[in-house]
Structure 1
Amino acid sequence: MSVSFDNSKPIYLQLMDHFFQKISNGSIRPGQKLPSVRETAVEVGVNPNTVQRTYAEMERKGIVEARRGQGSFVTENEALIKELRAEISEQYVTTFIEYMLNNGFTEAQIIEQVKAALNKSNG
C-alpha cells in the first residue's frame, strides 16, 4: 500500500481518504477484512495510534465494522458504499469547479475542458 502524505491535512484523514478511494473503486470489496492496525502502520510508516484513529473514524461513519477478536471489515451495506462514492464525487467536482471559476473560466469553458480531458482519457 503506497500512500504519500502532505502537510495540508492530518495524516489520519489522508489515510481515511486512501481507504475510501480503494473501497469506492472496488479495490477493497464489501465484507473484506482490512489489514490490522499494526500491519497498516508498518506498511505506510505511521504511528499505530494514527491508524487506530483512522479505523475508528471509518467505523463512526459506518463504512467499517469492527468485529471483536476478528478485526475490521468493510461494510456489506451497498447503500452506504454508494453514498460514500457520491460524497467523494461531490467533494472533488465541487473543488474543481470552484477552482476553475476562481481562475476566470466560464461554465462553457469548464465543460469544454472536461469533455476534452475525457476524450483524452478514453483513448
Structure 2
Amino acid sequence: MAAEREIGDDELLEVADNPEQAASLHKALRTIANTPALGPELQGMAKDVLSGRIGMQDVIGSDRYMHAIGDRLGQMRDAAENMSPEDRRRSEARAEKMVREAEEAERDRPKRDGRP
C-alpha cells in the first residue's frame, strides 16, 4: 500500500496569516494526528486535513469539529486549574523551555534560509 500524500505548509495559507504560521499549524496537526490521548475525533480531523481530504476552512466551519476542539480545550483548562503547585511549576518550566527553543529557532531561521 502506498504512503498517503501529506499536504504542504502552503496549503494551510488559506487560514494562516503567513508561511511561519502555516508551518506551525502543520506541525500542530501532525502532533494531534499522532497523539491518541486527544481522542479519535481530533486525531481523525488532523489526519483528514493532513491528507487533504478536508481543508482547514471545512474544520473551522464544522460544528462537529469545533465542538470537539472546544471540549478538549475545556478539559485542558480543568486540568490546569486542578494542578498541584509542583505540577504547575514543572509545567511552567516546560513552557518556558519551549518558548526559549522557539525563539532560538526563529533567530537561527534567517541563517538557515541564507538571509543576513
From the two aligned structures, give the one with the greater strand fraction: 1
From the two aligned structures, give the one with the greater helix fraction: 2
Q: Same fold (TM over 0.5)?
A: no
Q: Bigger relative contact order, structure 1 or 2, given CA contacts below 8 A and separation 6+?
A: 1
Q: Normalized against structure 2, the TM-score is what?
A: 0.33
